[in-house]
Structure 1
Amino acid sequence: MSEHHPPLRSYGRLKSRAIKPRQAALMETLLPAIRAPGGPFDPRALMPDATEAWLEIGFGGGEHMAAQAARRPDVLVIGAEPFQNGVASALRHIDEQGLQNVRVHDGDVRELLARIPDASLERVFILFPDPWPKARHHKRRLLQADLAAELARVLKPRGRLRFASDWSDYVDWSLERLGKAFRWTAERPDDWRMPPADHVTTRYEEKRLGDCAPVFLDFIRD
């Protein structure tokens, strides 16, 4: 397990608006029950009968995470998100759907990764992260070389990683960094132009806030 990590820093606001009363109540009741452990842990220990363990990094409002967990109740889905409004929204989805296979880390994903052992995940999702499009802000992007290396550490051999973005520069940036740690599986343009069969489109994605159509990059850890 990695021992040295750069100082953690969250960019932007951790809370952007008032949290609705119902969601605020879930932050007090549901979140403590499903929060990922604060110390080192094996994801499988959280759900011993799980067939796989997945991680979604930056789950936004939690739509995709909840939908994937509902489709696959046999899979433990761990979500990491530092922004309180997103966590609160995700808790509503989890509560409404009665999901028992979701755990949440309400903080920086690097803190979470540092606590889990090598080769402990089968799948990782990084969907539409903040693109920080200005060149002087590229250092703020979530996906850096050190994170790619850490994800390669925690993924099992043949483990899968999906990155999606609607900012062309971030797609190129991510392909360069992830391509050094994983094998890109695309064989034809439709493999990155078309949403994968198991993708769940969210309201955020439908807003098309980027400068290109959504691009989906699927990778495998050899």
Structure 2
Amino acid sequence: MTDDTPPSAEWRNFYGRIHGKTLRPAQKVYLSEDLASLRPAGVTREDNPARDPIDPAGIFGDDRPIWLEIGFGGGEHLVHMAARYPEIGIVGCEPFVNGVAMLLGKIRQAGVTNLAVHPGDARDLMEVLPDASVAKAFLNYPDPWPKRRHHRRRFVTQDHLRSLARVMQPGAEFRVATDIPDYVRQTLKEVPQAGFDLVGEGGVAWGDWLSTRYEQKALREGRVPHYVTFRRR
């Protein structure tokens, strides 16, 4: 497929590569020993070809509120939030294998038990979650797809955002953090059209925010972080 392929004809990724540097031996152990017990069942097309809805209560074994992080990078923010809010169940989605391995190491170190990990496309999870099943969602430093012809691959497009809106509860908070001004522009334009109200935006982070390695890299390179908060209508 090419960049001229009609939107209905392809399943565009809103992320880049899924493999990076060679995994360290310890990271391979984390993947082989820890991942299976942390990944939600019935999410992949192989496990659930009919795309039947899953029961969110089955992810953590109870009816606790579910939060969702779309692309957790190295997992710093995900583990931080899990430790800060032990009563919440947080599901992180990340197709980048190295990031998944890094997260699993952090989970071991922190000892948190309220995390689930989908090592793949967040759209696969959103596709099988029931309506209004997510109480909060995070999109932190997503792939910016800087070339104009690739902007339709960003997560903040209607196809992705409407899927997110469907699974979020009325009044649920959606946070976006990025250091790319044009990503902020597109976020402010597209997210409200998908059923969200803007709550606030600017250079001041949320009170429970943990600066990630991607944010630290942006700061070192002179880019300014921007934080945007929406609420599901």
TM-score, with length taken from structure 2: 0.86
Residue 7 (structure 1) aligned with residue 8 (structure 2): no
What is the match of residue 3 of structure 2? none
Query: Shift in Å at residue 12 of structure 1?
Result: 3.0
Go from structure 1 to structure 2 and tell me whether the alpha carbon gap of 1:11 and 1:56 turns closer, same or farther (over 3 Å shift). closer
**Do the aligned residues in 2 keep the contact of 1:56 with 1:79 (CA within 8 Å)?**
yes
Aligned residues: 215
TM-score, with length taken from structure 1: 0.90
User: CA–CA distance in 1 between the matches of 2:91 and 2:155?
Assistant: 18
User: CA–CA distance in 2 between the matches of 1:138 and 1:211?
Assistant: 23
How do residues 46-57 of structure 1 correspond to structure 2 at under 5 angstroms? 46-49=59-62, 51-57=64-70
Query: Shift in Å at residue 42 of structure 1?
Result: 2.3
Residue 28 (structure 1) aligned with residue 32 (structure 2): yes
For 1:127-167, what per-residue CA distance to the aligned partner results, in whole angstroms no more than 9, with x for missing partners? Answer: 01011111122122122111111111000111110011100
**2:198 equivalent among 167, 184, 202:** 184
Residue 206 (structure 1) aligned with residue 210 (structure 2): no
| Aligned Cα root-mean-square deviation (Å) | 1.9
Higher mean C-alpha deviation, range 67-76 or range 8-17: 8-17
**Do the aligned residues in 2 keep the contact of 1:167 with 1:211 (CA within 8 Å)?**
no
Go from structure 1 to structure 2 and tell me whether the alpha carbon gap of 1:72 and 1:81 turns closer, same or farther (over 3 Å shift). same
**Do the aligned residues in 1 keep the contact of 2:14 with 2:155 (CA within 8 Å)?**
no
User: CA–CA distance in 1 between the matches of 2:61 and 2:87?
Assistant: 10
Residue 16 (structure 1) aligned with residue 20 (structure 2): yes
For 1:100-130, what per-residue CA distance to the aligned partner results, in whole angstroms no more than 9, with x for missing partners? Answer: 1100111111111101100001000000101
User: CA–CA distance in 1 between the matches of 2:63 and 2:86?
Assistant: 8
| Aligned residue identity for 2:224 | A
Instruction: Give unmatched runs, 5+ long, in structure 2.
Output: 1-7, 43-47
Query: Shift in Å at residue 202 of structure 1?
Result: 1.1
Residue 76 (structure 1) aligned with residue 89 (structure 2): yes
What is the match of residue 115 of structure 1? 128
Query: Shift in Å at residue 36 of structure 1?
Result: 1.4
What is the match of residue 147 of structure 1? 160
For 1:156-212, what per-residue CA distance to the aligned partner results, in whole angstroms no more than 9, with x for missing partners? Answer: 1111100111000000101111111200012xxxx5210110111112211116774
How do residues 150-189 of structure 1 correspond to structure 2 at under 5 angstroms? 150-180=163-193, 181-186=195-200
Percentage identity across aligned positions? 40
User: CA–CA distance in 2 between the matches of 1:49 and 1:12?
Assistant: 34
User: CA–CA distance in 2 between the matches of 1:175 and 1:30?
Assistant: 38
**Do the aligned residues in 2 keep the contact of 1:119 with 1:156 (CA within 8 Å)?**
yes
